[in-house]
Amino acid sequence: MSRKIHFNAFDMNCVGHQSPGVWAHPRDRSWKYKDLDYWQDLARTLERGIFEGIFIADVIGYYDVYKGSNWHAIHQAAQIPVNDPLQLAAPIALATEHLGIGITASTSFEHPYTFARRLSTADHHTKGRVGWNIVTSYLESGAKNVGQAGLRRHDNRYEVAAEYMEVLYKLFEGSWEEGAVKRDRERRIFTDPDKVHEIGHKGRYFDVPGYHLCEPSPQRTPVLYQAGASGPGKAFAAGHAECVFVAAPTKALLKAYVQDIRAQAAAAGRDPRKLLIYNLTTVIVDETDAKAQQRFQEYSSYSSYDGSLVFISGWSGIDFGQYAPTDLLKKVETNAIVSVVEHFAGKDKQWTVEELARWGGIGGLGPVFVGSPSTVADILQEWVEETDVDGFNLAYAVTPETFEAVVDLLVPELQKRGAYPTGYRAGTLREKLFGEGPYLPASHPANSYRDIEAVKRREAEQRTARPVTAAE
């Protein structure tokens, strides 16, 4: 039996998510991102193709590193304008029965107390089909526009994120006991107050003393996605994530990443096979290899050089507008996505700025696979076999055409090979993904926050035992 390949659709509530400039293609419909019927139609297509979910990226801020301004980002619609992702969860859920909905939100810009309510509400409305992509953010413009002096240093952002998760686990897992909600009309008791607890969190970055505002949602804690690829990011993912996204451009880089993240998860006491790892990939598929290549060339003709470097400059923190197209990339210390710099300034290949822009013109930083259904299926199975990756986070070049071609041509080929599911499991998103219960497993660190009164006692003892510093 062939190993099953997992697909997510990678999208964003904007124009031209990963293929800048291609919005100008006459068949592209990304400009309809404002319309709910566009998202519902896309969701139905993805569910027809047994996609596990639609993963909706987000940024708070705009890409203003390239040439020191956001002019090219606005000119090329490089993820601006961009709408809120969480508001898509309910309409997508109404249009589908099984499709998961992964929502991106930042630990740097969302307060955990109010965000917990928004996320629990979405999990209720979707009957447990929501996941949260945990990001720490990388755009200075976002930090400045929410009143922060600037973006925290990269490693410090993960320190904040670790405490953020602690607050959410206390709210989701510990604040309301199982069975707290009675809905007992005879005794006129809706909720047993003795089973609802203040979390009493007092930390370095957050003070959250009170109760979670929501009763437990179908999954309590929605499925946890994370895309950390730096050292601190991988450690965070190994400790918290259930689904991990990476954008490795080569099999060698992907294999090393997958080995590392599984080893770190095992060291953290988690089952490394229970982490689903997906690589960012764009698939251009048509009936024959020749037609697929023709389609790829057609798409590429619309790609924007400046738009591509807008993204790569924003992701890396390096202004590529200051370099000539023939200049070679060099590793530079930045405060943005560290792995971007590490990937493309490595030893395997020396990249010019022009080559980098061409690479990022279709599908962002991940690889692009072009060919007939048989050719692309061979490539995907080869990557799974050689890297141990679980699946692919599929970006589009032209939407919804890219996704429709995958569903109509590639999915049947993979199913014929026994390498792709033919239906969904029942239950919540977590149950569909892992075939177990709706809640996080006992091996997950969230489990230690389910007895919140014991947690508070333990933390009080630790505060009492900790020596007081002069600064305090």
Over residues 76-87, the pLDDT tens digits come to 898 899 999 999
Instruction: Write down the pLDDT at residue 136.
Output: 81
Instruction: Write down the pLDDT at residue 334.
Output: 45
**Assigned token pair, 17:** 């998510």
Instruction: Write down the pLDDT at residue 337.
Output: 43
In this predicted model, what pLDDT tens digit does every residue of 61-75 receive, in sequence order? 788 889 999 899 999
Which of the four CATH numbers 3.30.70.270, 3.90.1150.10, 3.20.20.30, 3.30.465.10 does domain 6-465 have?
3.20.20.30
Instruction: Write down the pLDDT at residue 345.
Output: 53
Instruction: Write down the pLDDT at residue 358.
Output: 86
Question: Between helices 353-360 and 305-316, what is the axis angle to 10°?
Answer: 100
Is the CB of residue 309 less than 8 Å from the CB of residue 297?
no
Q: How far is CA 261 from the centre of its chain?
A: 16
C-alpha closest to that of 79 among 59, 101, 65: 59
Q: H helices then E strands: how many in the chain?
A: 17, 13
C-alpha closest to that of 97 among 428, 394, 422: 428
Instruction: Write down the pLDDT at residue 463.
Output: 82
Q: Is the dihedral of CA 64, 67, 69, 70 positive or negative?
A: negative
Low-confidence ranges of the chain (pLDDT < 70): 1, 137-155, 330-349, 466-472
Partner residues linked to 11 by β-bridges: 56
